[in-house]
Chains A and B, each alone.
Chain A
Amino acid sequence: DGGITQSPKYLFRKEGQNVTLSCEQNLNHDAMYWYRQDPGQGLRLIYYSQIVNDFQKGDIAEGYSVSREKKESFPLTVTSAQKNPTAFYLCASSQDSYKNIQYFGAGTRLSVL
């Protein structure tokens, strides 16, 4: 089945630690996105990538980093500079940035120990 796989489902971060969230898609989509979901705030865009080896900051990029070395993969690193990382993180992909139907993974819930 084609789709988007996020792992792990739950992740815990210690103070001062960097953690990486995985996102893999086998839909052959060019564009990929990372969102953060907090209660009552909807989805906020962290980073997006329209093509391999290229990515742009979204609305709340501070404290996060990404890479896009392969079309299928778009990992998100939550760095120690992100002081409030506890949230639900969602990865999405779309055929390209003009085809605005986005397909979402099941999400990773990150908590701070």
Chain B
Amino acid sequence: GNSVTQMEGPVTLSEEAFLTINCTYTATGYPSLFWYVQYPGEGLQLLLKATKADDKGSNKGFEATYRKETTSFHLEKGSVQVSDSAVYFCALSYGNEKLTFGTGTRLTIIP
């Protein structure tokens, strides 16, 4: 079946540091890939997505590239801010199958 493996947290970084959160997947065919973000006390929000190999999703300074050869969709940001502190979820879907989520990575940015 489909699955998503995320970098375990928590991750703590200083403001303006470079961020990478690793995500790899197992799926039949070519799934769509997503990053969702959950701010404290809230539901999830879509951060970015990519629907085919070599696509790059980007939003709010975050980027992730769909790498078919390594079955990866790592999340990156060049300079994090305190407001980026949240839990980040990698997810995939294939066809009309439901979203499969990773376990989430808690990110804390210290001033």
Contacts and interface: CB of A to CB of B under 8 A. Distances in A.
Interface size class of B (residues with CB under 8 A): 10 to 19
Contacts of B99: 45, 100, 102
A42 interface: yes
Contacts of A105: 43
B46 interface: yes
Contacts of A106: 41-43
Contacts of A2: none
B45 interface: yes
B58 interface: no
Contacts, number: 47
B35 to A, nearest CB: 12
A74 interface: no
A42 B93 contact: no
Contacts of A16: none
Contacts of B44: 43, 90, 92, 102, 104
Given A43-B89, A106-B41, A101 B101 contact: no
A33 B101 CA distance: 14
A97 B98 CA distance: 7
A17 to B, nearest CB: 25
Contact of A90 (B32, B43, B95, B96): B43
Contacts of A43: 44, 89, 101
Contacts of A101: 34, 46, 49
Contacts of B104: 40, 42
A97 B96 contact: yes
Contacts of A64: none
B43 A107 contact: yes
Contacts of A75: none
7 smallest A-B Cβ distances: which pairs?
A104-B43, A100-B93, A42-B103, A104-B44, A43-B101, A42-B101, A97-B96
